[in-house]
Amino acid sequence: MRRRGHGRPRRPHAGAQGMGGRAGPPCGGPAGGSPPGDKQGNVGRVRRISGHGGAHAVAAARRYGVTAMFTLSGGHVFPLYDAAVQADPPLRLVDVRHEQTAVFAAEATARLTRAPGLAVVTAGPGVTNSVSAVTTAWFNGAPLVLLGGRAPDYLWGKGALQELDHVPLLAPVTKRAWTEHDKRRVAASADEAFRVALTPHRGPVFCDFPLDTIYDQAEAELPEDRLPEPAPPDPGDVTRIAKLLGAARRPVLVLGSDVWLGRADEAARQAAEALRLPVIANGQARGVLPGGHELLVSRARTLAFGEADLVIVAGVPLDFRLRYGSFGPEEDPAKVVHVADAPGALAGHCPLAATAAGDLTAFFAALAAEARPAADPDWLPRLRDAARAALAADAPLLASDSVPVHPVRVYGELLKVLDDDAVVIGDGGDFVSFAGRHIEPRKPGRWLDPGPFGCLGTGLGYAAAARLAHPSAQVVLLLGDGAAGLSLMDADTLVRHRLPVVIVCGNNGAWGLEKGPMRAVYGYDVAADLRPGTRYDEVVRALGGAGEVVTSPAQVGPALRRAFASGVPYLVNVVTDVEAGYPRTTTGV
């Protein structure tokens, strides 16, 4: 039997509702209060909708600005497809070759557009194949809604096809996960899923529907109220931070992805400029201050973090990427301020001089109005000089003529052809780490990488989403050859849906991120080698795209120009030097 096949559904018998597990209170259940739009609730307008459950769920999705549904076909969720194509206007239906790609694409949609992303997967393996991608969205704080199919309630417990209680699998990596059994509440549950995903601190939400629930006809009410405005931070917290800033001699401001996701990028830039704060940008906050901005000192982060006496971190966790919140000289540690969009996102593992939680735009505006910095006059110039020196030191490798190709030479050529509004996506280890060092976006929200969960295989889904979100911009995927093995089949998705993307594969024939460290620990390495020179470009060609192999530095630039001019999914397969490992100082362990 085909893995996702399903026969014509039977109508449920009376009493079938209520079977199966839930994690946390169901939307509108006794512990959760009345859902949005419930006549017993304290909410305003509602509208009546009718049809099968799929129509109800899609009506809710459209209310939140969803324009695309990412999926892999499965019979448990056919009503959602029917609703997508029958909607006015219809949702774009993008079917992929692996469920993780669907969820990665929905996550990237959320991170690029700041509207919720929607993925739909069938029951059983459709859901289980999604878990790593949902976890990536959880770590990235991306407002993603995953709707799943589920075996029918009227057969539950009898061993129906793909019968599995999904909720316990998703509960640890979502803001909420539940099963909706009542056909009259599909709309309310879908609406609640989007509402929860978008409420700071943002994140993924999962809801599945038994087959009989989603196929059956019903009438329901869909709320039309708006999300409440995010609460500003406590004024007293802002005052404390302003006083710390006024006393600091060597302050640093760190901006993270939630600054972009929370639409606080302009307020953050204005505050940094008004207060003359050196800035280090992380994740999708890269580009809030464009490359070359006088306050952007990301390339001087070692000096900045090593000598700062105050570090204000906004919109990013104090995790391994930020030294777990430990800055300044060991004998005189810096004071650390953590600012987040919700109290639950504040760090609890390290000493903090102050915190603030709430709307990040309001925070930056209040801080700029209240703070009176008094930094050492030579602090910012020292950081700028260090950043300029780091950039100057890059020049030899950016122009390296070594064979095999040094990975940095790839970025030397890419920088010559990238537009200011290009979307740059990284999916790999060392190859992408070099990109993070050498490519500085000109605009915020145009850089995508897997984030702190470090899950490879994101690239093709991210690329599909980027092309849909920014149809006229360059989209370039920087793909390690190890990561290629996890998602390259979805080049077929790009081809079928006419989504031209330039893929640059750094092909060093190894798991470089593991090869060097294992040698350092044991003096040898195992399980770190891939087949040298694999023709990943021919894989893309076989799937209907185009590509070429590059083996010398002089070939890189012309190949990139052909790729951008092609108008099709195009893979530039660059054979790079396996010995050119990234000189990392942070391992996360």
Residue 534 reports pLDDT greater than 60: yes
Range 235-382 classified under CATH 3.40.50.1220? yes
15 versus 258: the higher-pLDDT residue is 258
Burial class (CB in 10 A: 0-12, 13-18, 19+), 336: buried
Residue 35 reports pLDDT greater than 50: no
Torsion angle in degrees (nearest 10) through CA of 42, 46, 51, 56: -60
Determine the Cα–Cα distance for residues 392 and 395; give it in Å rounded to an integer: 6
Q: How high is the pLDDT of residue 10?
A: 32
Give the strands of the sheet with 117-121, arranged side by side.
92-95, 68-71, 117-121, 144-150, 205-210, 176-179
Range with the poorest average pLDDT among 211-225, 246-260, 537-551: 211-225
Residue 37 reports pLDDT greater than 80: no
Q: How high is the pLDDT of residue 190?
A: 98
* Same fold across 46-223 and 235-382: yes
- What are 47-58's pLDDT values in tens digits? 899 999 999 999
- With b meaning 16 or more CB within 10 Å and e meaning fewer, what string describes 372-383? ebebeeebbebb
Determine the Cα–Cα distance for residues 187 and 55; give it in Å rounded to an integer: 8
3-state secondary structure 451-498: CCCCCCCCHHHHHHHHHHHCCCCCEEEEEEHHHHHHHHHHHHHHHHCC
Residue 493 reports pLDDT greater than 70: yes
Residue 212 reports pLDDT greater than 90: yes
Q: How high is the pLDDT of residue 66?
A: 98
Determine the Cα–Cα distance for residues 274 and 245; give it in Å rounded to an integer: 13
CA angle 522, 518, 578 (to 5 degrees): 130
Q: How high is the pLDDT of residue 9?
A: 33
Residue 433 reports pLDDT greater than 50: yes
pLDDT average, residue stretch 382-401: 97
Percent over 90 (pLDDT), the chain: 88
Please state the domain extents for the chain.
46-223, 235-382, 399-575
Note the pTM of the prediction, 2 decimals.
Answer: 0.91
Q: How high is the pLDDT of residue 473?
A: 98
Residue 17 reports pLDDT greater than 80: no
563 versus 35: the higher-pLDDT residue is 563
Based on DSSP, count helices (H) and strands (E) in the chain, helices before strands.
22, 19
Q: How far apart are the first and last CA of the chain?
A: 44
Range 399-575 classified under CATH 3.40.50.970? yes
Contacts of 348 (CB under 8 A, 6+ apart): none
Sorting pLDDT into bands at 50, 70 and 90, what band is 586?
Answer: low
- What are 222-276's pLDDT values in tens digits? 988 888 899 999 999 999 999 999 999 999 999 999 999 999 999 999 999 999 9
Residue 41 reports pLDDT greater than 60: no
> 30 — alpha (psi -120 to 50), left (phi > 0) or beta?
alpha
The residue count for the chain:
589
Contact 188, 35 (CB under 8 A): yes
Determine the Cα–Cα distance for residues 468 and 404; give it in Å rounded to an integer: 35
CATH superfamily of 46-223: Thiamin diphosphate (ThDP)-binding fold, Pyr/PP domains (3.40.50.970)
Residue 21 reports pLDDT greater than 60: no
Q: Which two tokens stand for residue 174?
A: 């979502």
Sorting pLDDT into bands at 50, 70 and 90, what band is 283?
Answer: very high
Q: Which two tokens stand for residue 8?
A: 């014509």
